[in-house]
Amino acid sequence: MYYLICGILLMNYNSVQANPKSNSTEFLIGGDDDGDGLLNSWEINGLDINNDGNIDLDLPAMGSDPSHKDIFVEVDFMENHRPNQAALDEVITSFANSPSVNPDGNNGINLHINIDEQLPHEDNMNSDDLYEYKGLHLGNVVERADANRDNVINAREIATHYAIFGHTQPYSTSSGESPNMPGKEFMVTLGASKWGSDPATGHNVGSIDQQSGTFMHELGHNLGLDHGGWNDINCKPNYLSVMNYAYQMSSLLGNRTLDYSRSVLPLLNENNLNEVEGLGMSTPPNMISAYGPPPIKFTFTGIPVDWSRDDTTTDLGVHADINNIPSEGCLRSSGENLAGYNDWASLTFGDVSNGTGSTHSGAGQKEFTTEDLIGHRILLWESIKDLAYPVNPIYYNFSNPTEVQNYQLTNAILNDTYNNMTNLLVTSQLKNAINQTNELKELYKVTNDTKPIWYMDNMVTVLQKQI
């Protein structure tokens, strides 16, 4: 307790000392000291968009701080699709804990999410609809009825992002979309039948994990990030970011952190992989990453990796399509150079509504879909089978009827002849699939083989986060 109090006092002392600009009059009025795209004068006095001496958007009342980065997001939602506050809180926490540096000496970004209006339910919306909704619903009801309406809306257009939680996009189960990169608007569309459902209504709205991951992924596009950080090469094992389809949701790794990448991992040349160097070390250290081709494998950063899968980790010059983790965005593509990226150090803030942003989705490109989600379930199951089936008979005493039964049942679960796990996963019978995975794990413990057990535990966590 003594140390805790001392620590808090010390932290307060340091933060005061590290804040040479606590007096707001020292700010250069035209500048943007914290680099969040919001000018000092706006963050101190409010935004007067037409310079008539009247404040049109009171950013200080909304929580702006000229010495600490702020991002404002207005969220409207269709009926049944009010965002889960726990999901938004996860994103807010991730931004607060980010390594972004600020003039006040404290790292992090204050993400201000304002849940605004409920809109009528529409089954489909596309990017054009998103702009139309924004045109009609940016700002709140009071602001839009005000005589100063146009200036308020123009100020919001510059200072805030606009998002809609809707149902689905046309002809697609895509989880979301941000039409521009960087940009100012995005949508989260988790209404297709295999996204998680709201226990109160039964309506598909996305699980907490699916909502938080998609919100942060689409906001990341708004902040200038692509699926490979600076490029669109997806599913790179050395790019540990929510922007990567392997980590948008906890759909492969049950305990992946909801985060943008924090450091540049070393380049991986798929024609010349070095097993000793592996992925290099991550920030934070010892993160877990998935790599292909199927059956997919998991490894820590900072240790040698068996890219060639010959049970040694000393090979040099290995050829392997390691970002082949099949889903819509991660098709087979051998021989690539896979570069790491530091997302947090590279975010684009500020007014990007003037058309400088590049278009995100080219023709036919989709965001992470329910087909991808189910694909990931099957990939996890295939990896377990690859490691565990057939179960090694040396662990069983075949003169004991119970052990004979356990041996047969273990194999039957693993080869889908008992309860057909593959079918449970495809048809989203997730509670049954979790129960069966736990049963398999208990049966499999007799082998003392911890690696498949880890994969089974991971699959249970993954499936729990989809409910």
As measured in angstroms, the least distance from the Cβ of 404 to Zn ion is 50
Whose Cβ is closer to Zn ion: residue 179's or residue 191's?
191
**Structure token digits, residue 196:** 């998680």
Whose Cβ is closer to Zn ion: residue 66's or residue 206's?
206
As measured in angstroms, the least distance from the Cβ of 168 to Zn ion is 7
Q: Which residues from 360-419 bind Zn ion, rule CB under 5 A? A: 367
Helices (H) then strands (E): counts for the chain: 12, 11
Best CA proximity match to 252, nearest among 311, 323, 191 = 323
Binding Zn ion (rule: CB under 5 A), the pick from 37, 83, 108, 191 is 191
Alpha carbons 132 and 128: distance in angstroms, whole number: 6
Instruction: Give residue number: closest CB to Zn ion.
Output: 167
Best CA proximity match to 221, nearest among 75, 367, 328, 115 = 367
| # residues near Zn ion by CB under 5 A | 4
Q: Which residues from 414-453 bind Zn ion, rule CB under 5 A? A: none
Whose Cβ is closer to Zn ion: residue 219's or residue 318's?
219
As measured in angstroms, the least distance from the Cβ of 191 to Zn ion is 4
Whose Cβ is closer to Zn ion: residue 167's or residue 297's?
167
Alpha carbons 296 and 302: distance in angstroms, whole number: 19
As measured in angstroms, the least distance from the Cβ of 261 to Zn ion is 15
Alpha carbons 380 and 421: distance in angstroms, whole number: 11
Q: Which stretch binds Zn ion (CB under 5 A): 80-88, 154-162, 276-284, 298-306?
A: 80-88
CA separation, residue 207 to residues 9, 32, 77, 237 (Å): 39, 37, 16, 25
What are the backbone angles phi and psi of residue 426, rounded to the nearest 5°?
-70, -35
As measured in angstroms, the least distance from the Cβ of 175 to Zn ion is 9
As measured in angstroms, the least distance from the Cβ of 121 to Zn ion is 6
**Structure token digits, residue 312:** 């040694």
As measured in angstroms, the least distance from the Cβ of 135 to Zn ion is 22
Alpha carbons 304 and 307: distance in angstroms, whole number: 9
Confirm or reject binding of residue 167 to Zn ion (CB under 5 A): yes
Whose Cβ is closer to Zn ion: residue 216's or residue 384's?
216
Residues 6+ apart with CB under 8 A from 135: none
Q: Which stretch binds Zn ion (CB under 5 A): 78-86, 194-202, 441-449, 459-467?
A: 78-86
* Binding footprint of Zn ion on the chain (CB under 5 A): 80, 167, 191, 367
